[in-house]
Amino acid sequence: MALQIIGSPRSRTMRTLWAAAELQLEYEHLPWSWDDPRLKDPEFLDMNPAGAIPTIIDDGFALSESLSINLYLAKKYGHGDPLRLYPTSLEGEARVWRWSLWAQSHLEPWVQRDADLLLIREAAAESSFNVLQKSLRILDMAISKSGWLVNGSFTIADLNVAGVLSPSRAATAGVHDHRHVSDWLDRCYQRPAALAVRERFG
Ligand SMILES: N[C@@H](CCC(=O)N[C@@H](CS)C(=O)NCC(=O)O)C(=O)O
């Protein structure tokens, strides 16, 4: 097969699959996802140091960057009748570049924002989970002494801390790894007033 297109259609590879369809090209499609470990193999990084999709191999020539791939494919296969995807004049070609570079610099940053936000969210979640575990260890130690936070009996301190933690949050907070906290939280939420208010207000 002369042309290979590497990349899942659920990625920027869709741009290249679309161009290939417009150009009526035959190709072999390798639908690797953006997180496919093969993208970080040394042989792949030799072709595309960014380790990203789309990447094409056309008769042994490897190229990445979706818009440059499309310019290449259109120039190679799409400048004659009836396709006319690539202008034949110098000026027409310059305008095609102009709009492609404009999209890359003025629209693409907004597209990239989604991926960046995902990474930021993951990093923030990991960091706050670590802080949470440290806080739960502190709480566990405090409760281990008398079973409650202040004066050896239930006070508004227990209500406030248990109220912030709440059973639904506790389920995802890893509270069960902290034996005293887990037991104390159950005792707090089993109190008649806690049961009654949850029964009434859901
Ligand atoms: N500017 C590049 C962006 C390529 C890119 O970031 N592709 C994503 C998938 S849409 C990817 O493969 N990410 C994996 C990585 O960067 O490790 C293009 O237009 O092709």
Q: Whose CA is nearest to atom 16 of ligand 1?
A: 52
For ligand 1, which residues put their CB under 6 angstroms from it? 11-12, 34, 51-54, 65-67
Distance CA(8)–CA(29), nearest Å, equals: 9
Q: Whose CA is nearest to atom 2 of ligand 1?
A: 65
Distance CA(191)–CA(187), nearest Å, equals: 6
Q: pLDDT tens-digit profile of 16-38? A: 999 999 999 999 999 999 999 99
Q: Evaluate if residue 98 carries a pLDDT over 90.
A: yes
Q: Evaluate if residue 115 carries a pLDDT over 60.
A: yes
Q: Which residue among 11, 18, 55, 118 has the greatest number of ligand 1 atoms within 8 angstroms of its CB, and so is best to mutate?
A: 11
Please identify, by atom number, the ligand 1 atom nearest to the C-alpha of residue 12: 10
**Architecture (CATH level 2) of domain 120-201:** Up-down Bundle (1.20)
Tokens at 100, concatenated: 């492609």
pLDDT the model gives residue 47: 96
Contacts of 102 (CB under 8 A, 6+ apart): none
Please identify, by atom number, the ligand 1 atom nearest to the C-alpha of residue 52: 12
Q: What percent of the chain has pLDDT over 70?
A: 100
Confidence of residue 79 (pLDDT cuts 50, 70, 90): confident
pLDDT the model gives residue 1: 55
Q: What percent of the chain has pLDDT over 90?
A: 88
The fold for domain 3-86 equals: Glutaredoxin (3.40.30)
The residue count of the chain comes to 202
Q: Cα(87) to centroid of ligand 1, in Å?
A: 27
Distance CA(50)–CA(170), nearest Å, equals: 40
Whether the Cβ atoms of residue 54 and residue 11 lie closer than 8 Å to each other: yes
pLDDT the model gives residue 60: 95
Domain chopping of the chain, boundaries: 3-86, 120-201
Mean pLDDT of 108-129: 92
Helix axes of 108-146 and 179-189: crossing angle, nearest 10 degrees: 90
Contacts of 177 (CB under 8 A, 6+ apart): 133, 136
Q: Whose CA is nearest to atom 6 of ligand 1?
A: 52
Q: Cα(61) to centroid of ligand 1, in Å?
A: 19
Mean pLDDT of 105-109: 92
Return the residue matching tokens 């949470």.
132
What residues pair up with 62 in beta bridges, in sequence order? 57
Q: Cα(115) to centroid of ligand 1, in Å?
A: 10
